[in-house]
A = this chain, B = another copy of it.
Amino acid sequence: MQLCRVEGTVISTRKHPSFNGWRFLICQPLDCDGRADGIPVVALDSLGAGIHQKVVVTSDGLAARRAVGDDLSPARMMTIAIVDEAEKEISRSEGATTA
A residues near B (Cβ < 8 Å) are 1-3, 7-16, 19, 24, 26, 28-32, 34, 36-43, 46-54, 56, 58-67, 72-78, 80-89, 91-99
Contacts and interface: CB of A to CB of B under 8 A. Distances in A.
A2 B10 CA distance: 11
A71 B59 CA distance: 15
B67 A74 contact: yes
A62 B59 CA distance: 12
A26 to B, nearest CB: 6
A50 B63 CA distance: 29
Nearest to A12: B81
30 contacts: A2-B39, A7-B88, A8-B32, A8-B89, A9-B87, A10-B56, A10-B86, A11-B86, A12-B56, A12-B84, A15-B81, A15-B82, A16-B80, A24-B56, A26-B86, A29-B39, A32-B36, A37-B39, A50-B98, A51-B89, A51-B96, A51-B98, A52-B91, A52-B96, A53-B98, A58-B75, A60-B65, A60-B74, A60-B75, A63-B65
